[in-house]
Chain A
Amino acid sequence: MIEIKKYICIGCPVGCPLQLEHEKDRIREVTGNECNRGAKYARQEFTDPRRSISTTVQISGALRQRLPVKVSGAIHKDQILEAARKIHELKVMAPVEIGQVLFKDFLGEKGIDVVACRSMKRIAEAMTACRTKKHRRSKAGKPE
């Protein structure tokens, strides 16, 4: 049976509405694209849709409370939420260097790591303590 899957091309702002005709796993044709990039995109989305993700993890001993991190390669679309949950379990201590690997092969896929997106220096203990205190105070004043 021939089926149709619809996508919107993200290649450029035109945003062509793409239609991909397929018979089970076999792609028959892509229409609606104004250029080649659209066809390529639809094929990729049909066979193996991947996304790169970035989020933050808790960091202590630094100027900020959160450290931005990213996954070093694109992961399968269905794994996004699971990946985010896993990354959030991480807790790191300053100092951290940009590009530092925080969690190797974290989804069991080789070469897909969690890496730091910036450096964060360790700041003096006294300063951290005073910052968290200030932080707590402002939190207490906030209605839930």
Chain B
Amino acid sequence: MLGRVEKKYGVVVVGGGPAGMGAALGARDCGEEKVLILDREPEAGGILLQCIHSGFGMHYFREELTGPEYAERFLQKVIDHDIDVLPGSYVSGVAVDSGGSKKVRIMSESHGLITVETKSVVLAMGCRERTRGAVRIPGTRPSGILTAGLAQKFVNLKGYLPGKRIAILGSGDIGLIMARRLTLEGCRVEGVFELMPYSNGLTRNVVQCLEDFDIPLHLSTTVAYVHGRDRIEKITVAPVNPDLKPDMSRAWDVPCDTLLISVGLIPENELTQNLGIGLDVVTGGPLVSSTLETSMPGMFACGNVLHVHDLVDYVTREAMLAGRFAGEWSKGVRRPKDNIRLVPGDNVRYCVPHTLSPEREHTIHLRCKAAMKPCKIRVGSLMEKKLRFVFPAEMIMFKIKPDLLDKFHGDTLRIDILPLEKGERVD
């Protein structure tokens, strides 16, 4: 029920976005009856509520939905399954007692300071954007510089525009989508400036958000200086040399009253860190076993807090899995510990989960370092899978069957992405 909170739960989920809602439903699915979702915003739904463009749900619902539609369908399911949801609540800490039960400390707008006891916790806090500080642009510190996602919140939820003449640093998907969004709202978008020689966003977004509106995309270009005293007045942009340093001899000025920054996402793991849970330095998310359990027993993680996903549909699938294991845990099921470590090898930036067990089938998520086409993924000496292409912006997923792992007697499995050998072809 919306706004209801009791003293004891089986599973408490931190975060009410797609990951949190998916996890709660997963826990309900496996028979856990007492599930609570906590969210700091005034309503559950997470970032989906401000992603008003369509493109969500193609895998899960087999139809193309907007963010708010996807969120509402899930919220309805959550309410139908009698899951408690407490919006306007912030988790300040989790204490674990010797018996393994967890006390979640909550600051709630409606209930004040409360503590809820639970057997397992699912971390589903999502991710946040890298800021100007994280990319260090020289110049003054005027107002009018914000992340693309914050601008999205202002425009789509609050109903005010951040400015009229917009420049965008970084070609992440949110930046591209905001370029179109602000154009539709009557702003003038001067251009998108991307440090790398390729766009970080989906081709679909480059075509439909920029080209459709004749917004220029300047690749291998960056913002070298910010001008303006109280409000940003203009930026100096410069093409970069191969070492990614700006070449000031070719710089030019772009007048603007707003600079949006869209340079990537980082999992939001302050709570996780405070709990002393082990993190993966590459993903920025916790290290997890094949049951998506973190280094703290009974504490699970899923969605963008674990690693940044491409599609909300994938978040939902992963979250439901994490929720199911969290529900199992709260009912006393203890699975055997994983005994195989998964490590990234050639051209693999990271893989999740970090360990495996021969007990079940696993879906492995990984990202490559560099684009390669065609190529193959090799998992130790167990299997090979040929792919037409891999791109850093595209998450790679594949399954490993339990009978394969059964044949494996080592303790470390290495994953490589390799070019095809002569005579090999992708069918």
Chain B residues positioned under 8 Å from A66 (CB to CB): 155-159
Q: How far is the CB of B41 from chain A (nearest CB, A)?
A: 10
Q: Which residues of A contact B156 (CB under 8 A)?
A: 56, 66, 68
Interface range, A side: 20 to 34
**CB within 8 A of A10: which of B42, B204, B373?**
B204
Q: A108: CB under 8 A from chain B?
A: no
Q: A119 to chain B: which residues have CB within 8 Å? A: 72
Q: A54-B52, A84-B184 known; 18 other A-B pairs, CB under 8 Å?
A: A8-B203, A8-B207, A10-B204, A13-B203, A14-B373, A14-B388, A14-B389, A52-B64, A55-B52, A65-B158, A66-B158, A68-B52, A70-B52, A80-B184, A98-B69, A98-B72, A119-B72, A143-B143
- Contact B54 A52, beta carbon cutoff 8 Å: yes
Per the bound structure, the CA–CA distance linking A16 and B314 in Å amounts to: 25
Contact mask A1-30 → B, CB, 8 Å, 1/0? 000000111100111000000000000000
9 A–B pairs (Cβ distance < 8 Å), ordered by A: A9-B203, A10-B204, A15-B203, A64-B159, A81-B183, A118-B49, A118-B68, A139-B160, A143-B230
Report whether A13 and B158 are in contact in the complex, using a CB–CB cutoff of 8 Å: no
**A81: which B residues are within 8 A, CB to CB?**
183-184
Closest to B48 in A: A118
Q: Which residues of A contact B231 (CB under 8 A)?
A: 143
A71 and B71 alpha carbons, distance in the complex (Å):
18
Which chain A residues lie closer than 8 Å to B95 at the CB level? none
Would B54 and A68 count as touching, CB distance under 8 A?
no
Query: Does B202 lie at the interface of the complex (its beta carbon under 8 Å from any beta carbon of A)?
Result: yes
Chain B contributes a number of interface residues (CB within 8 A of A) equal to: 40
A124 to chain B, nearest CB (A): 14
Does any Cβ of B come within 8 Å of A101's Cβ?
Answer: no
Q: How far is the CB of B312 from chain A (nearest CB, A)?
A: 15
Please determine whether A63 and B42 come into contact, CB atoms closer than 8 angstroms: yes
**Ordered nearest first, which 5 A-B pairs have the shortest CB separation?**
A15-B203, A65-B159, A118-B68, A68-B52, A10-B204
A13 touches B394 (CB 8 A): yes
Report the Cα distance A8→B156, complex, angstroms.
29
Task: Tell whether A117 pairs with B68 under 8 Å between CB atoms, given A14-B389, A65-B157.
Answer: yes
Q: Which of A10, A13, A55, A63 contacts B207 (CB 8 A)?
A: A10
Say if the beta carbon of A43 comes within 8 Å of chain B.
no
Instruction: Report chain B residues within 8 Å CB of A139.
Output: 160
Which residues of B have CB within 8 Å of A58? Answer: 159
Q: Is B393 among interface residues, defined by CB-CB distance under 8 A?
A: yes
Contact B393 A118 (CB under 8 A): no
- Would you give the shortest CB distance from A24 to chain B, in whole angstroms? 24
Is B59 located at the chain interface by the 8 A CB criterion? no
Q: 1/0 per residue B387-427: CB within 8 Å of A?
A: 01101011000000000000000000000000000000000
**B143 (CB) vs chain A CBs: closest residue:** A143
A51 in the interface (beta carbon within 8 A) = yes
Q: Closest B-chain residue to A45, C-beta based?
A: B207
B212 at the interface (CB under 8 A from A): yes
CA of A14 to CA of B66, assembled, Å = 24
Write out, one digit per residue, whether chain B residues 140-169 have a CB within 8 A of any chain A CB (1) or not (0): 000100000000000111111000000000
Interface string of A36-72 (1 = CB under 8 A from B): 0000000000000001111110100001111010100
Taken together as a complex, chains A and B put the C-alpha atoms of A117 and B68 apart, in Å, by 6
Does the CB pair B54–A54 fall under 8 Å?
A: yes
Q: A98 — which chain B residues lie within 8 A by C-beta? A: 69, 72
Q: Given A68-B66, A118-B68: A54 and B53 within 8 A (CB)?
A: yes
- Chain A residues near B338 (CB, 8 Å)? none
Set of chain B residues within 8 Å of A56, measured between Cβ atoms:
52, 155-156, 159
Q: Is A122 close to B, CB under 8 A?
A: no
Residues of B within 8 A of A133 (CB): none
The one of A52, A63, A117 in contact with B69, judged by C-beta atoms closer than 8 angstroms, is A117
Check if B389 sits within 8 Å of A13, measured CB to CB: yes
Complex Cα–Cα for A34 and B115 (A): 57
CB-based nearest B residue for A83 = B184
